[in-house]
Amino acid sequence: MSRLVMKFGGTSVATLDRIKRAAKRVAREVANGHEVIVIVSAMSGKTNELVGWVNETSPFYDAREYDAVVSSGENVTAGLMALTLQEMEIPARSWQGWQVPLKTNGAHGAARIEEIPTANLDARFADGMKVAVVAGFQGISPEGRITTLGRGGSDTTAVAFAAAFDAVRCDIYTDVDGVYTTDPRITAKARKLDRIAFEEMLELASLGAKVLQTRSVELAMRYNVKLRVLSSFGEYDETAGTLVCAEDEIMESNVVNGVAYSRDEAKMTLLGVEDRPGIAAAIFGPLADAGINVDMIVQNISEGGKTDMTFSCPVDQVARAKKSIEDAKASGAYEFGELVADQDVAKVSVVGIGMRSHAGVAAHMFKALKDENVNIKVITTSEIKISVLIDRKYMELAVQALHDAFELEKIGTA
């Protein structure tokens, strides 16, 4: 019998009525002949509440106890979902991460999945269980402690189960009805994509699109797990949502498939850095050790033995980045003249696997921004992505202009 993984996010299980609605979707897949593994998040807002309790109780908390507390939200949802299915006379059982077991490393708060043995669930399915309701976001460390996978970790849990149990598909139910060409809140011209390649989805997720967690897309691409993103609130439709799949399953790719943005970016520049071999390692090594998520990096042409080094990072990491840089300077690791931080920038990106075979995408993008009088501060490119840093006040204008320039409103139309 085929296996199907269904993941329900926090908004999809926010109330008992919504859990009942989700359970009806599960029941429909059972009726279609699937053995179903349901991955559930905590009820909407519950994880934030639990994190708040931890911070209020112990600002410098023990990460092991943090995981013990914040993982409890998913346990509640899993039990309620299993009870709801049982009331519908569907053989269902809830499973916490340690019961499966979902084995992780010992990095509490940001654990990585190492293995999901299938024997326990396989045995229960063989005994007549039709639905395994698994608490997402959690696992068990080598020391036998509860671990959590980081925010959004239920997506990763779902994909990992789909890979481990060779599921036909992994359906991610959320509060949006698919992956759009850009945020519909910014432009009404945004269009839902029927299909998108793993690589495009990975870029969009890493660039700020919040539909899927980045790690879940990485895992799906590695194990070729078909993902379907769809709404838990619309009417049932087997063709609904957006299918995230391998590039060769898409008939013909658009040059650009999406415009992504990240509002809370900062641009940091070290002026007058000594220009010598190893200077980049001396700067970015300590930043990595401090947990700074460095993205765009630009080094200017050297002049008089000095150069300028610019990079971007999330705006909430600026203080830590400054401390790391100042500490490195004080230790004699390197010298620089001045550190300038611009905390009023945004990142806007265009993404599309069609860029591989089409020239002129960058020129078209830059002209569209020029026509709107939007100044570009930093540019980075990859094979299927072009990103720019701009003043934050122009972010929505830039997204709209690029969406129009690449005629993304025509996607999905005859």
Token pair, residue 2, equals 């085929």
413 is in an annotated binding site: no
Known binding residue 46? Answer is no
**47 annotated as belonging to a binding site for a ligand:** yes
The annotation status of 211 as a binding-site residue, yes or no, is yes
**DSSP conformation letters of 141-193:** -TTS-EEE--TTHHHHHHHHHHHHTT-S-EEEEESSSS-BSS-TTT-TT--B-
128 is in an annotated binding site: no
- Does 20 show up as a binding residue in the annotation? no
Residue with tokens 């203080």: 319
Three-class secondary structure of residue 9 per DSSP: coil
Q: For residue 19, what are its two tokens?
A: 């859990």
- DSSP labels for 41-100? PPPTTHHHHHHHHHHHH-TT--HHHHHHHHTHHHHHHHHHHHHHHHHTT--EEEE-GGGT
> 51: annotated binding-site residue?
no
Task: Check whether the bond before 101 is cis (ω within 30° of 0).
Answer: yes
CA torsion through residues 105, 107, 109, 112, sign: negative
Residue 174, marked binder: yes
How far is CA 414 from its chain centroid? 31
CB 181 within 8 A of CB 408: yes
Tell me how far apart the alpha carbons of residues 222 and 173 are, in angstroms, rounded to a whole number.
Answer: 21
Confirm if 195 and 249 have CB atoms less than 8 A apart.
yes
The answer to whether 29 is a known ligand-binding residue is no
* 9 labelled binding-site residue: yes
Q: Measuring CA to CA, which residue among 121, 158, 130 is closest to residue 8?
A: 158
| Structural Rg of the chain based on CA atoms | 23
Cα 237 from Cα 343, distance rounded (Å): 44
Do residues 110 and 215 make contact, with C-beta atoms less than 8 angstroms apart? no
Is 64 annotated among the ligand-binding residues? no
The residue whose two tokens read 């990595």 is 288
8 labelled ligand-binding: yes
Q: Cα angle vertex 101, ends 151, 67, to 5°?
A: 35
Judge whether 287 and 324 are in contact, CB under 8 Å.
yes
Q: Which one-letter amino acid corresponds to residue 78?
A: A
Residue ranges for the binding site for substrate? 47, 74
Instruction: Show binding-site residues for ATP.
Output: 7-10, 174-175, 180, 185, 210-211
Residues annotated within the binding site are 7-10, 47, 74, 174-175, 180, 185, 210-211
